[in-house]
Structure 1
């Protein structure tokens, strides 16, 4: 079986600087995939870039934990606060689902509105994932799968990090290792939901990558981490989550902890090191819109 690496840039549509960086990494680097945030402030700009770069596979970055909904707030009342904004964290959303404070119907209406908005712009999504990986929550996963089947979206992110991720700690900068351990622990908190995820996806007939990488090292990427990761890729389809961008005023004003590190990831995606890494380790970089078998 071939070893395929699918590199996906999250947060397309979040800021103009992120959009321009994704465009650059697709035109001049190894990036082949991105996921578009339908309620992102720079959505229209992202759509224009997507239409001008047809070789870039564009998916949907489903969002239930930041910004305002695509649907009218009065149509999704349990998803919004008094300011009209959505839940501020995955944990808050999970707690609201368990308590019944958020209804499955509102989730369905909002996610349908997000996918419909993107498709109405003439973009045919090739894959789905979600901001902060809230599609790991079973009520959200059910809706995401329903939408993917309705619109013939073939791929959905496997949000469970590959078990070998802990080996990357020695490649991370020494000052970043405490953050790595915290993120590694958080990535493993959701592992009990993995059998449920696999069952739902298998039953639906959707495809999901065999391996997923990038959670524990979010914001901590460097070329040593990259080299270590690709050296451990397994046969099959492997997805690597990235967040390239540029630190402009829009990003500084946004509610994100990833600032300068986005520029580090941009530089890695544009680095000439990819040719030697691919030759040495025998993997190929593909897009979700390409043949992945």
Structure 2
């Protein structure tokens, strides 16, 4: 049985080095798909490069956190911004605000819609899928907006993140993932059956990627996503701005290695994009 493997690189448009690394991992490696960050400082410049890569699936990496400003002003989305006028810095800060009832879903809808407008209108991208920066669409109030927008924008597939981690955090993520799966299924949206990348974020060097491929092959899932974070060297300013501890160069080396390509073939995977996900109902992909 031939099974579908989607290897999706996140954060396209964050820096030129990240965009170049993703394109290199596609041209010379196994990356088949990327998620574009509408609020990324380099998104307008680097989105043009995607026109030369028709085989690279392109999705929206929707953001509600981070050091880069939202598309809309703080007056337009007051509950999503802090005193400095930007997003909360990370998922913990966002969830603290959301848990306290300080996030208005209408603001989430406005900002996500503006990001989709930028990607599809200004940048001219055709989207194969949606996901979110730091997987915030796992959170139910965000997931409701996220799923509604996927349907409105006729994007048929979304990421379904999960975790294998032990302890309360892993259990919480798995619970939220199950809830998201029910919501996306009820909405008729497609997801890969198995996923890896949340627990391994920024650390998918070759040994870990090999182990991950082996584990996903053993799961028996017919459709699989691995999300990764490759990139070429960034300048010192970019490194300081996005100091997440990610080993982007190490991931790039792994994703372009012959050993990984051989391991994927040995397990009988064919690589593809979210557009290649089979629809159980037999419906054509949205135009």
TM-score by length of 1: 0.87
Deviates more, 1:134-143 or 1:280-289: 280-289
Task: Specify the alignment match of 1:256 in structure 2.
Answer: 243
Within a 5 Å distance, the mapping from 1:142-157 to structure 2 comes to 142-157=144-159
Task: Specify the alignment match of 2:190 in structure 1.
Answer: 207
Task: Specify the alignment match of 1:76 in structure 2.
Answer: 77
Shift of 1:57: 0.7
User: Structure 1's 255 and 26: CA in aligned 2 closer, same or farther, altered over 3 A?
Assistant: same
Q: Does the residue aligned with 1:289 lie in a helix, a strand or coil? A: helix
Task: Specify the alignment match of 2:96 in structure 1.
Answer: 95
Task: Specify the alignment match of 2:285 in structure 1.
Answer: none
Task: Specify the alignment match of 1:231 in structure 2.
Answer: 214
Within a 5 Å distance, the mapping from 1:111-260 to structure 2 comes to 111-120=112-121, 121-161=123-163, 163=164, 186-233=169-216, 234-249=220-235, 250-259=237-246
User: Structure 1's 292 and 25: CA in aligned 2 closer, same or farther, altered over 3 A?
Assistant: farther
- Mapped to 2, the partners of 1:190 and 1:215 lie a distance apart of 10
Ranges in structure 2 where 5+ consecutive residues have no aligned partner: 280-287
Shift of 1:292: 4.4
User: Structure 1's 122 and 219: CA in aligned 2 closer, same or farther, altered over 3 A?
Assistant: closer
- Mapped to 1, the partners of 2:243 and 2:172 lie a distance apart of 22
When you count helix as a share of all residues, which structure comes out higher?
A: 1
Task: Specify the alignment match of 2:18 in structure 1.
Answer: 18
- Mapped to 1, the partners of 2:137 and 2:91 lie a distance apart of 10
Shift of 1:76: 0.4
Ranges in structure 1 where 5+ consecutive residues have no aligned partner: 167-180
User: Structure 1's 187 and 45: CA in aligned 2 closer, same or farther, altered over 3 A?
Assistant: farther
Shift of 1:154: 1.1
Shift of 1:185: 6.3
Shift of 1:267: 0.6
- Mapped to 2, the partners of 1:89 and 1:63 lie a distance apart of 10
Task: Specify the alignment match of 1:5 in structure 2.
Answer: 5
Native 8 Å contact 1:4 1:292 kept in 2:
no
Task: Specify the alignment match of 2:52 in structure 1.
Answer: 52
State the superposition RMSD in angstroms: 1.9
Q: Does the residue aligned with 2:276 lie in a helix, a strand or coil? A: coil
- Mapped to 2, the partners of 1:252 and 1:122 lie a distance apart of 28
Task: Specify the alignment match of 1:178 in structure 2.
Answer: none
Native 8 Å contact 2:196 2:226 kept in 1:
yes
- Mapped to 1, the partners of 2:168 and 2:22 lie a distance apart of 29
Native 8 Å contact 1:145 1:201 kept in 2:
yes
Native 8 Å contact 1:286 1:292 kept in 2:
no
Shift of 1:280: 1.9
Q: Does the residue aligned with 1:81 lie in a helix, a strand or coil? A: coil
TM-score by length of 2: 0.89
Q: Does the residue aligned with 1:74 lie in a helix, a strand or coil? A: coil
